[in-house]
Structure 1
Amino acid sequence: MATPEDTPSQSDSTLSGCIRPFLTKSGLTVRCQSRVRSQCPSCAELYRGDWAAIARSGVFDGPVQNFRFYLLTLTAPSFGRVHRVPKAEGAKVSRCGCGARHSVTDANLRGVPLDEASYDYAGLVAWNRDSGLLWDRTRRRLRDYWPSVEFFVVREWQDRGALHLHTLVRIARAEAPRPALLGESARTANAFSKVDGAFVSWGEQGDCQAFRADGDGAKAIWYLSKALNYVLKDAVRASGGGARSWGHLARLSTAARMVRCSPGCVPRDCPSHTHTRYGARGHVVSASRRTKNRTGWSFTGMTRKRQRELRSEWVTAQAARAESAPAEWAVGVLEARAGRAGRELRSRVDVLP
């Protein structure tokens, strides 16, 4: 007979691996749904997998021959000069503004201002706060030029604490522009803050490259991986550097605590996450949605809500199967566990003494 441990249930199927599930007011136990790997590896991987499926759906699940695809990168402007430190051994190293040629051993200086006293910390967190508005204006501008455009957006934290965007873009081939034109049109978009009226724009550094989804699948997958690898990064970077790096982050946190997140905000009393995330708000990953007149990014209309529904339906079906055939289910569970144990043992042969 199947035991409660072997029978699929809310606790060992939909919650499997979650290290901090919580109980809702309705009495239902649900996943913590964290997207941060350091807080819950299981939920973070589920989050990444859901978005990965949505990203691929917008490239491979439709008539790709009718579209052109681009990877567009947009960055924040400068708020002061920072140390230039390579991220990998052997990388080409240019002389830093401090006069030195840094190596990877100087990681505690990566993204740290040359002159912390004059660095515009308030401007940086205000830009993070308004970056969502700036992206909205950019998106509208591109749709004015190319009506068929759809997007998949990943927001990454730079070492200095500013956001920048990696965007997969799809445009109908009949109206598709050159990559340089698309990139410049996006980079020169601007907005005015709804909080304080400040002018908001992208930085000078940006990039736009075209790629093919058909006939060049390896390159397309590489582009997708490049964007999706940022999904599991902490929203507020957990620095591995030393005192200089931590000091920079502390100043950013102080500036975020003081910035207004809305016209009527009183920062000291405001509970908004804007004050705890270096000014940033909104989702780390997003995709254009299907409407009456638009396909949205996913050709099949896939969303995270639909994915959760499909998982719930699968768990319910498996529970019904176990209830109707408990003996067969117990055998299946034992065989699966034995197979997994065998694979784990084989994978560890190289490290056995």
Structure 2
Amino acid sequence: MRADTSTTETGAAEVIARGCVRPIKTSTGIWVRCGSRIKSSCGSCAELYRGDWASIARSGVFDGPVQNYRFYLLTLTAPSFGAVHRVPRSETKAAPVCGCGVQHLVQDAGLRGVPLRPSSYDYAGQAAWNRDAGLLWDRTRRRLRDRWDSVEYFIVREWQDRGVLHVHVLVRIERSEAPDAAVLRDAARSAVAFSKIDGARVEWGAQAKCDAFRADGDGAKTIWYLSKALNYVMKDVVHQGETVHPRVWSHLLALEHAARAMRCAPDCEPEFCRGRVHERYGARSQVVSASRRTKRRPGWSFTGLTRTVQRRLRLEWFLANVEASAAAAHPAEKVEAVEGRSLRVRRELAPCAAAVP
């Protein structure tokens, strides 16, 4: 019994030593990283997540024949579900008069995104839009590829202050068919979908933006912008450790209640359903994704880089260093200890072979 306890403590300690603050024990008894993308939950795993996706984003801009492509940064937002407080993000910009009649200051940031009239705000509609946003993006992606066959993309879904998703998308199109940025923006914004759950029409909001950029010009700046967006999505919707306005809590609680009450599938019974959609203000989509390589498409990453590949590369790097340490350790007991550790890490980090391109 003592040996088992010692082994358990050692396994957890090794994962903690690699930075994860709350390792998880699998059904096979192996301790692994928690894999959280929220910085307040585990900074180490969140940074690993951000770094992996930032590398994939860069790979689709800098690691191929960029002279053959045109690049765009497309931003799409959700429609309005009711008027909210307008609070400036910088002291250098003149603040517009808010709908409440007050010209807010940066210090009023706690009110940003809070409805002016909560009693008439469409919480149910916002939660349902979050739920169906993934379907809307799928229709948008198809619409773009119907017009420009070479479209590849890298998308980051970011939370707005009002608790609704909007998306930033890196788009790559071959120069031979590349459109003007305004044409691409209008084609994306005009896409619509119909909910598979209640048949409601789902569409983007009126605010949309698309800018073309050069890989050898603004490419690095654009990747930095996306990396900054990744930092935002790794935070909680309500930042911990800061003073939060009571009306923010009221707003998020109302949105949470709406998400809890809605159906997440045609046969969903909300009062009994335990789907995570009900816990995430209605959202079901992955935070970050990119077009994948197929038999007829190169995918976003020119080199086929995915998080699975990055886990495999980390595993190979670790094992190479472990083997070097084992070769330098002559005592048999040290070799045995290193080999045991190598086996545990292999089982923790090894990706599914079928998923590696």
Query: How many Å separate the matches in 1 of 2:178 and 2:137?
Result: 20
1:135 positional shift: 0.1
Asked if the contact 1:15–1:30 (Cα under 8 Å) also holds between the matched residues in 2, the reply is no
Query: How many Å separate the matches in 1 of 2:234 and 2:119?
Result: 27
1:14 positional shift: 9.5
Query: How many Å separate the matches in 2 of 1:140 and 1:313?
Result: 37
Name the structure 2 match of 1:88.
90
1:224 positional shift: 1.2
- Name the SS of the counterpart of 1:274 in structure 2: helix
Query: How many Å separate the matches in 2 of 1:282 and 1:208?
Result: 22
Consecutive unaligned residues of structure 2, counting only runs of 5 or more, are: 1-10, 335-357
Asked if the contact 2:192–2:203 (Cα under 8 Å) also holds between the matched residues in 1, the reply is yes
Name the structure 2 match of 1:225.
224
| Superposition RMSD in Å | 1.7
Structural mapping, 1:58-137, within 5 Å: 58-137=60-139
Name the structure 1 match of 2:237.
237
Deviations 1:235-285 (A, max 9, x none): 750244310111111111111111110011011111111101000012100
Consecutive unaligned residues of structure 1, counting only runs of 5 or more, are: 1-8, 331-353
1:52 to 41, 50, 54: 54
Query: How many Å separate the matches in 1 of 2:16 and 2:323?
Result: 15
In the comparison of the two structures, how many residue pairs are matched?
317
Structure number with greater CO (CA < 8 Å, separation at least 6) is: 1
Asked if the contact 2:12–2:23 (Cα under 8 Å) also holds between the matched residues in 1, the reply is no
Asked if the contact 2:70–2:173 (Cα under 8 Å) also holds between the matched residues in 1, the reply is yes
Name the structure 1 match of 2:35.
33
Asked if the contact 1:146–1:175 (Cα under 8 Å) also holds between the matched residues in 2, the reply is yes
* TM-score with structure 1 setting the length: 0.87
Asked if the contact 1:13–1:315 (Cα under 8 Å) also holds between the matched residues in 2, the reply is no
Name the structure 2 match of 1:156.
158
Name the structure 1 match of 2:319.
316
1:12 positional shift: 4.3
Taking structure 1 as reference, are residues 10 and 267 closer, same or farther at Cα in structure 2, changes over 3 Å only? closer
Asked if the contact 1:143–1:149 (Cα under 8 Å) also holds between the matched residues in 2, the reply is yes
Asked if the contact 2:16–2:23 (Cα under 8 Å) also holds between the matched residues in 1, the reply is no
- Percent sequence identity over aligned pairs: 59
1:166 to 168, 173, 193: 168
Name the structure 2 match of 1:17.
19
Query: How many Å separate the matches in 2 of 1:88 and 1:25?
Result: 49
1:105 positional shift: 1.4
Taking structure 1 as reference, are residues 17 and 61 closer, same or farther at Cα in structure 2, changes over 3 Å only? same
Asked if the contact 2:15–2:32 (Cα under 8 Å) also holds between the matched residues in 1, the reply is no
Query: How many Å separate the matches in 2 of 1:323 and 1:68?
Result: 49
1:18 positional shift: 0.5
Taking structure 1 as reference, are residues 52 and 161 closer, same or farther at Cα in structure 2, changes over 3 Å only? same
Name the structure 2 match of 1:203.
205
Structural mapping, 1:277-288, within 5 Å: 277-288=280-291
1:20 positional shift: 0.8
Query: How many Å separate the matches in 1 of 2:223 and 2:94?
Result: 25
Name the structure 1 match of 2:140.
138
1:15 positional shift: 6.1
